[in-house]
Structure 1
């Protein structure tokens, strides 16, 4: 089954770019046009209304317009389906396309809650995410669609039911319309697999990141303004960095995770992945988390943590300043000049705020933590991956080979005990860092570099630290 052909067929003819803008299938790696950021508005496929809907709002503002009846759910769904189709043709960012289902659902929402010209919406309270289009990383199950996670052997196996988060989002009124590309194995910084490679829309000679690279590219082109990824070593934050968007990795359990397809053996434990939002604004990450945390997520996932959402952040007691620790480096890899400039810009802004105190810090033990994180995510070695590849004779992608994960041996039970002991010791050390210096947060680069050429992203020391400790972490772009 040719999944590339399937996706081309799934894009309605009116949404197809002219030949001038289409990328030949055999030219994904070497397209002449480095940036395609201007194409969605320049290609002529979007009407003036559709361009406005997809360009002028973040998710929070658009949701307000939907609830006020300024736009119908169907109008918004059509606009984002068209823009996602454009993004797909430019960057190969989508895996599963179900635009027709999304538009039909949006139309049903309009009918159920009243037409857009009726502000009262029939007197019925609107669901929290009424009519808001949300894209999902491929590993989330959506009923009736494949969850191949970039591996050939899972193609042609449509999901029987939604994963927990997909079901919750539907119940909250969201409109699911596509799933996005990932690397083979979901464990590298380049989203390349049976569907082909996702390219960075800002420079198609660079990686879009991984493992949630399809979301990153789609959001950068505003084919989505709110998507959901997963992160076990930086898989939300690395694509956010590469594509100039926001990506938030919550602590494990805050967002329902059950029903996702992971590519490692079940039950291995250790460091767990978490699901979180990717967006075009920071407040949209809050919008997503607020909706999920107020939705009794435990009803969808027994492992979900019931933490109440707090709307108003209280001022520091006694007028105490907010203390931000600044780490210029992770102590392993020195940041490149562009990264240092961006960090300095952020630090200068903080120092200009009289309510903030900047505290220089060093991050202890990151090198060992990074090595132990790799041991955790390869507890069973690579046999499981090779077994999946062997089912169809699929070769491993280049970035997976370059990263070395396929050559890491499995771990003995005794070594696993030692890993757990070192992780507990590191947790105490970082708790002491926060406590002894009175820190409220840490500001640091998300990587030592910006987006890299294809198949070159092999290290995740900056991002993986916070997965190892299970701390929340967010990437924010710096202009």
Structure 2
């Protein structure tokens, strides 16, 4: 049987097929999306059939957006949009319409959306404009700002899932974070694609596979890959993702945008998933913003803190937000440079990005601001071995059986993610409890090693490479390490891209068999044009200090 291809979207690598019944249900779902899109918003079929490798400029040049819609979607971050709407330069309706159009163009090129909420968004924007006309002021600091939301996060009146058709549910109320954003005036206009099981570094759900806008032969990352691709295409300026192994930071790095994973339970997490996630018995999930500027991340965190979500959710830690205004005192900022984690040597362009940052930070003219030193993360290989087992205390059996019972195909990376834990099967409560002791002992050793190396923050890779080819996101060690120890991390884009002909150093010596495999992956694909990004990390609950450090680093590195 021929695969039911997602309507509207480029899909350059086929995904595994399910049963006839499953594929029929999937086809109905995809057709319902297709039917919502006006013909005038659709790209030519010959473009979708024979696309260029780099589709990032097509929204600007395709003729679907007007000149002023291009200006709205390209010239502002979320802070800037809020200011232009408050000053009445643009109406909420004009801004919402521009992002509705750009988001659906981006979807056709990258398969980044799961729902396109045009009618609801237009109605809400119209109400906001009426409020502005009547009261002469915005309803809140996000009045009319369109915000995209990862698919599994509940928005009242929409569907959510955990990346499979079997997990699809209708949500009748907003989760706490969405409720806060709505009260501040945000407009919700789309939900974004994610992986089957939510546990891949590639977004490959029943909606289709998300493509990297800068090289569609590469992944946009996961699990918040739809958000990353959409923001990179300027179909959104601010989105919300979640992260339990790199799910914000990996996609942000792959697509060259900003992404922040906060320390767990410093941001609202209530009802972000329809069902409990067994991985969280020992590895805590977090959430955070994905966007186009440092100040947007800072604004998002400030607005969330100001809402005092901990009053309704006692799990949350009530830490006031000082962010970019955080004082680091009079001493120099101590920055550790990670060249490798002792487990996997980064691929050549990532090493070049690290050198770029290290050279800038080590410039003698910044000696009064920065003390730069080498840093090696503690026991990265051990952490990777542990966390792969911690994620699946049931051996992956529950999600696997749900997929099989629905006739949904198990995608290659789903098979991969539970291969370490599957042989052990369903663990006992005692075994899960012993995992917790392992985790906490590792955290103590990690903290001691950090303190011995005497740094405030570290900067280094967010992934073993710039992005990965489809179905090859095998090693997340550069991000999952910080989920295991629960440290906050920010991905920052650099001005660098992958260049043709980059090669490993002649003196390269593999650090492990995984390191050797990563080199083989580099040599088997063309990564040209992919963005290069880096990750900045601070200690647990030092989220404010992390942003205080970003306030220093952004000027030295020239970050927007």
**Mapped contact 2:378–2:449 kept (Cα < 8 A):** no
Which runs of structure 2 are paired with 1:186-225 in the superposition (5 Å)?
Answer: 186-225=198-237
Quote how far apart the aligned CAs of 1:83 are.
0.2
More displaced 10-residue stretch of structure 1: 34-43 or 290-299: 290-299
Distance across 2 between alignment mates of 1:139 and 1:131: 23
SS in 2 for 1:114: helix
Q: Which residue of 1 aligns with 2:432?
A: 416
Is 1:330–2:341 an aligned residue pair?
A: yes
3-state SS of the aligned residue for 1:207? coil
- Measure the CA separation in 1 of the matches of 2:149 and 2:316: 19
Give the C-alpha shift of residue 328 in structure 1: 1.1
Checking the alignment, whether the CA contact within 8 Å between 2:397 and 2:422 is kept in structure 1 is no
* Equivalent residue runs for 1:292-371 within 5 Å: 292-310=304-322, 313-317=325-329, 319-352=330-363, 353-354=366-367, 355-371=369-385
Partner of 2:59: 40
Report deviation, 1:227.
0.5
Structure 1: stretches of 5+ with no match in the other structure: 25-30, 116-120
In structure 2, the CA distance between the partners of 1:284 and 1:416, relative to structure 1 (3 Å rule), is same
Q: Deviations over 1:303-360 (max 9, x none)?
A: 222211115635443x311001112111110111100000111111211222011121
Contact 2:279 / 2:392 at 8 angstroms: preserved in 1?
no
Question: Quick one: structure 1 residues 300 and 181, their matched pair in 2 at CA, closer, same or farther if it must change by over 3 Å?
Answer: farther
Kept in 1: contact 2:279–2:391 (CA 8 A) = no
Q: Is the 8 A contact 1:151 1:388 kept in 2?
A: no
Q: Tell me, yes or no, if structure 1 residue 129 matches structure 2 residue 142.
A: yes
Per-residue deviation at 1:268?
5.6
Selected match of 2:458 from 442, 447, 456: 442
Alpha-carbon displacement from aligned partner over 1:379-408 (angstroms, at most 9, x marks no partner):
122121123213321111122124444835
- Counterpart of 2:69 in structure 1 is 50
Aligned match of 1:233: 245
Specify the alignment match of 2:98 in structure 1: 79
For 2:130, which of 100, 103, 111 is the aligned residue? 111
CA distance in 1, matches of 2:360, 2:118: 42
Structure 2 unmatched ranges of 5 or more: 1-24, 496-560
Q: Which residue of 1 aligns with 2:387?
A: 373
Secondary structure, counterpart of 2:214 in structure 1: coil
Match of 1:459 in 2: 475
**Within 1, Cα distance between the matches of 2:82 and 2:491?**
23
Secondary structure of the equivalent of 1:349? helix
Task: Tell me the equivalent position of 2:493.
Answer: 477
Paired residue for 2:522?
none
CA contact (8 A) 1:298 1:304 kept: yes
Deviation at 1:432, TM superposition (A): 2.4
Quick one: distance in 1 between partners of 2:268 and 2:204?
A: 26
Q: CA deviation at 1:270?
A: 1.2
Secondary structure, counterpart of 2:335 in structure 1? strand
Give the direction of change, closer, same or farther, for the CA distance of 1:312–1:306 in structure 2 (3 Å limit): same
- The aligned counterpart of 1:396 is 410
Q: Is the 8 A contact 2:143 2:186 kept in 1?
A: yes
* Distance in 2 of aligned mates of 1:289 and 1:48: 32
The Cα offsets for residues 232-271 of structure 1, whole Å up to 9 and x where unpaired, read as 0000111111111111100111111111226665696211
Match of 2:152 among 109, 126, 139: 139
Report the CA distance between 1:106 and its aligned residue. 0.9
SS state at 2:159 partner: coil
The 10-residue stretch of structure 1 (59-68 or 468-477) with the greater mean CA deviation from structure 2: 59-68
Is the 8 Å Cα contact of residues 7 and 97 (structure 1) preserved in structure 2?
A: yes
Residue in 2 aligned with 1:6?
A: 32
Q: CA deviation at 1:154?
A: 3.1
Q: Is the 8 A contact 1:41 1:51 kept in 2?
A: yes
Q: 2: distance between equivalents of 1:414 and 1:312? A: 43
Instruction: Find the aligned partners of 2:358 and 2:248 in 1 and give their Cα distance.
Output: 23
Deviation at residue 46 of structure 1 after TM alignment:
0.4
Please give the per-residue CA displacement for 1:87-141, whole angstroms capped at 9, x wherever unaligned.
11111110011111011101101111227xxxxx52x564121111110100101
* TM-score, with length taken from structure 1: 0.92
Partners of 1:236 and 1:440 lie apart in 2 by 22
1:477 aligned counterpart, secondary structure? strand
Shift of 1:436: 3.5
The offset of 1:367, in angstroms, is 1.2
TM-score in terms of structure 2 length? 0.79
Q: 1:27 aligns to what?
A: none
Q: Quick check: 1:384 aligned with 2:403?
A: no
Runs ≥4 in structure 1, deviation > 4 angstroms?
262-268
User: Root-mean-square deviation (CA), in Å?
Assistant: 1.9
Query: Which deviates more, 232-241 or 361-370?
Result: 361-370
SS in 1 for 2:479: helix
